[in-house]
Copies of this chain bind each other. A is one copy, B any other.
Amino acid sequence: MTAAQPAGDNSRKIRYAVVGLGWFAQDAALPAFANTENSELVALVSDDPAKLKELSQQYGIQHTYSYDEYEDCLTSGEVDAVYIALPNHLHCEYTVRAANQSIHVLCEKPMAVTEEECEQMIRACDSNGVKLMIAYRLHLEPANLAAVEVVQSGQIGEPRVFNSVFSQQVESGNIRLREATGGGTIDDIGIYCINAARYLFQDEPIEVFATAASKEEPRFSEVEEMASAIMRFPNERLASFTVSFGAASTSIYQVLGTKGDLRLDPAYSYQGEIKHYLTIEGEQQEKTFSDHDQLAAEFTYFSDCILQDKAPEPSGAEGLIDVRIIRALYRSIEEGRPVAIESSNRDARPTTQQAIERPPSQESPDLIHAASPGGQ
């Protein structure tokens, strides 16, 4: 714990700077603070003065900083934590700099562009005694938590197959279409499919294969239009997914078990309903999970981890595992062959696989509490 956050203090709020004011930060993150009890938005960091002016007025924020003034933000004494919603290639630098000033870090996923960056981030946060959480909002999302429960309960028998399609039209000029900022379909949306396969199978892939395709359009000149991937899991299970920046919005996954199957459609949305279609022996049940402020849940949980001095899940180790898989998938695309995943991912699992395990504690039913380190 750093001096700024006395352990066990439940009366105060964690004060956040939001770093990077892209579309998702504006649409999902900024409005979420109003739906939390223990988190407060106190500063905005962006290089766009017009955005800073407009959004600080809209949310009544006193402190605004350019990227050049990030250090001032970190040392202002006004901020306990940063929420990093910058382009992927900046996650590492802005995390390490925050950690070095004893500021806690909630960093958007993918955690970073390379495994080395992830390791650097973990080290910086560890050595400075600050909390690091990767913003896997679905680890706190009721429909996805319930999906894990359904699969773990044995209702669909033994889970054997995961399949997912995640697509959205990404328009020209979007940062996700730029290679230099760490864009790409697998980094940006494939990560949902990879992470879902891992939390639903509660295991780590052994080998992956992917292939990419791109229409001849200027918007796909730097990153691929789409990719299809197959991941082999232990116990002879297969997970596959297709992600696209060039097809209409779809967000579906399906887990097939020996006795039935569960489909979520939509599966990955951050707004609106999420639906379960559970089929057991030919009988289908539908269940609707109502809209839910996923970012508010995330901020609340991370603030709670800081205030209660608990290790957040999803941790940096969880983020690193996905980045390692993403890099292996891109290596497979480049080399045109399946790529084995280093066993270090599976070694890492014992402390990370509980990320999305139930049940939540009684006192905060929307949150997951991580199992004790070393637990299953």
A residues near B (Cβ < 8 Å) are: 156-157, 160-161, 163, 165, 167, 169, 209, 211, 213-216, 225-228, 230, 232, 235-238, 240, 242, 244, 246-250, 252, 254, 256-261, 279-282, 336-338
Contact = CB atoms under 8 A, between A and B. Distances in A.
22 contacts: A160-B247, A161-B242, A161-B244, A163-B163, A165-B256, A209-B211, A211-B230, A211-B238, A211-B338, A213-B232, A227-B238, A228-B230, A228-B238, A230-B240, A246-B258, A247-B256, A248-B256, A248-B257, A248-B258, A248-B261, A250-B256, A252-B254
B236 A215 contact: yes
> How many copies of this kind of chain does the complex include?
2
Most chain B beta-carbon contacts within 10 A, residue among A225, A230, A261 = A230
| A interface secondary structure, majority | strand
A165 B169 contact: no
Contacts of A242: 161, 163, 238, 240
A155 to B, nearest CB: 11
Contacts of A280: 248
Nearest to A216: B236
Contact of A232 (B157, B211, B258): B211
Nearest to A214: B236
Contact of A161 (B156, B167, B338): B167
Contacts of A215: 160, 235-236
Contacts of A232: 211, 213
Given A242-B163, A336-B337, A279 B230 contact: no
A259 to B, nearest CB: 6
B213 A247 contact: no
A235 B216 CA distance: 9
Contacts of A256: 165, 167, 244, 247-248, 250
Contact of A240 (B214, B240, B259, B337): B240
Nearest to A159: B247
B163 A248 contact: no
